């Protein structure tokens, strides 16, 4: 029996089916909440990388469905974003877009631009790129998600707000830690019991958000922007000191729900997309091209064998 079909029968998978959650991931957010109370007193939240929507369902049930009056419901704001479209969820505004793109970040931010008392109290990000099996590529893509989620959080979070994001075990977590401690007074790494033991994923749970004095929020995509230039443009000395970290991590075992094996054809498509993307920075192209070509050659040889 294949590993995937065996995994699917685990207790959280079955319970998710029974209780109407779109994915077993719902239990990860619920376990994080049981442990840290991240949903306590929250009315406004952002769910980044939200599809198929089980975390948004948790937010909807805990923040929206439990309101007794329409007035209370009108105070709730949940904004969910993903590359993929999602079926509607009560009380959730959905945006389809890439969170590493400035246009998507701006669209999210525009929902929380109405003064300090209307900012978000919680930002969550369960993002994971399609895993190619090429570690350099996977780590690089994951780093973009964390950096983007944190950039967006610096715009939309109110003082004292909370941030939860998926990370992968890796060598650069101390860099991530120091970056998060610049923005949050409290920070812990937690692996919920519903996260498969075979997966290298864990979650950073950050509380008590505060912007460092003088810091001006900015959307940075280190893959596309010259971040020193972007930081200089703010005119803030602290922005120029806080250089974005490049996260590294081992995404082994990060695939969670379905059969997500990348085929040789997928790899060739990824390679073509990168080569034909005129906006893809040439220094990364130079680095990733030989890695991808090597992997394609290995897999072609395996197939022909």
Ligand X SMILES: C[S@@+](CC[C@H](N)C(=O)[O-])C[C@H]1O[C@@H](n2cnc3c(N)ncnc32)[C@H](O)[C@@H]1O
- Give the residue numbers marked as catalytic: 166
Instruction: Pick one of 12, 27, 36, 55: the residue that binds ligand X (CB under 6 A).
Output: 55
Binding status of residue 24 toward ligand X by CB under 6 A: no
Interacting span for ligand X (CB under 6 A) from 9-17, 75-83, 177-185, 297-305: 75-83
Between residues 23 and 78, which has the closer beta carbon with respect to ligand X?
23
Residue 99 binds ligand X (CB under 6 A): yes
Can residue 50 be called a binding residue for ligand X (CB under 6 A)?
yes
| Pairing label, strands 44-48, 77-82 | parallel
Told to check if 82 binds ligand X by CB under 6 A, we report yes
Check whether 208 is labelled as a binding-site residue: no
Q: Please report which helix (H) or strand (E) contains residue 163, including its range.
A: strand 157-168
* Residue 88, burial from CB neighbour count under 10 angstroms (0-12, 13-18, 19+): exposed
As measured in angstroms, the least distance from the Cβ of 25 to ligand X is 4
Nearest to 166 by CA among 45, 247, 62: 247
Strand partners, 203: 166, 190
Site string for ligand X, 131-160 (x = CB under 6 A): --------------x---------------
- Residue closer to ligand X, measured from CB, 64 or 215: 64
305 is in an annotated binding site: no
Minimal distance, residue 305 CB to ligand X, in Å: 33
Contact 59, 77 (CB under 8 A): no
Given a contact cutoff of 8 angstroms between Cβ atoms, the answer to whether 123 and 163 are in contact is: yes
Long-range contacts of 135-140 (CB under 8 A, 24+ apart): 135/250, 135/251, 136/287, 136/288, 136/291, 137/270, 137/288, 137/291, 137/292, 138/251, 138/254, 139/168, 139/170, 139/247, 139/248, 139/249, 139/250, 139/251, 140/223, 140/246, 140/284, 140/288
By CB under 6 A, residue 201 contacts ligand X: no
Of 238 and 266, CB closest to ligand X: 266
Name which position in 32, 36, 44, 53 contacts ligand X (CB under 6 A). 53
Q: How many CB atoms lie within 10 A of CB 302?
A: 9
Q: Establish if 33 lies at the interface with ligand X (CB under 6 A).
A: no
Please report whether residue 46 would count as binding ligand X according to CB under 6 A: no
52 contacts ligand X (rule: CB under 6 A): yes
Joined together, the tokens standing for residue 59 give 């937010």
Using the rule CB under 6 A, which residue among 49, 123, 248, 267 binds ligand X?
49
Which residues are near ligand X by CB under 6 A?
Answer: 22-23, 25-26, 49-55, 81-84, 98-100, 126-129, 145, 256
């Amino acid at each position: 029996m294949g590993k995937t079909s065996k995994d699917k029968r685990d207790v959280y998978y079955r319970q998710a089916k029974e209780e109407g959650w779109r994915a077993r991931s719902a239990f990860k957010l619920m376990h994080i909440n049981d442990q840290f109370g991240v949903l306590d007193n929250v009315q406004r939240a952002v769910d980044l990388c939200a599809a198929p929507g089980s975390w948004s369902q948790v937010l909807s049930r805990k923040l929206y469905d439990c309101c007794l009056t329409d007035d209370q419901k009108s105070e709730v704001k949940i904004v969910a974003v993903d590359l993929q479209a999602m079926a509607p969820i009560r009380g959730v505004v959905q945006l389809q877009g890439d969170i590493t793109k400035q246009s998507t970040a701006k669209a999210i931010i525009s929902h929380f631009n109405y003064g300090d008392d209307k900012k978000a109290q919680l930002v969550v990000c369960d993002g994971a790129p399609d895993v190619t099996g090429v570690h350099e590529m996977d780590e690089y893509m994951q780093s973009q998600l964390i950096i983007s989620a944190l950039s967006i959080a610096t715009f939309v979070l109110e003082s004292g707000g909370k941030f939860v994001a998926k990370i992968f075990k890796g060598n650069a977590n101390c860099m991530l830690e120091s970056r998060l401690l610049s923005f949050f007074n409290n920070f812990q790494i937690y692996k919920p019991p519903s996260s498969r033991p075979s997966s290298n994923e864990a979650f950073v749970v950050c509380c008590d958000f505060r912007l460092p004095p003088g810091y001006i929020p900015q959307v940075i995509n280190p893959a596309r922007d010259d971040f020193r230039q972007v930081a200089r443009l703010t005119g803030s000395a602290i922005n120029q000191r806080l250089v974005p970290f490049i996260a590294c991590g081992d995404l082994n075992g990060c695939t969670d729900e379905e059969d997500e094996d990348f085929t040789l054809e997928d790899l060739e498509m990824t390679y073509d997309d990168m080569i034909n993307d005129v906006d893809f920075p040439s220094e990364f192209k130079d680095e990733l091209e030989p890695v991808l070509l090597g992997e394609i050659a290995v897999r072609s040889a395996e197939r022909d064998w």
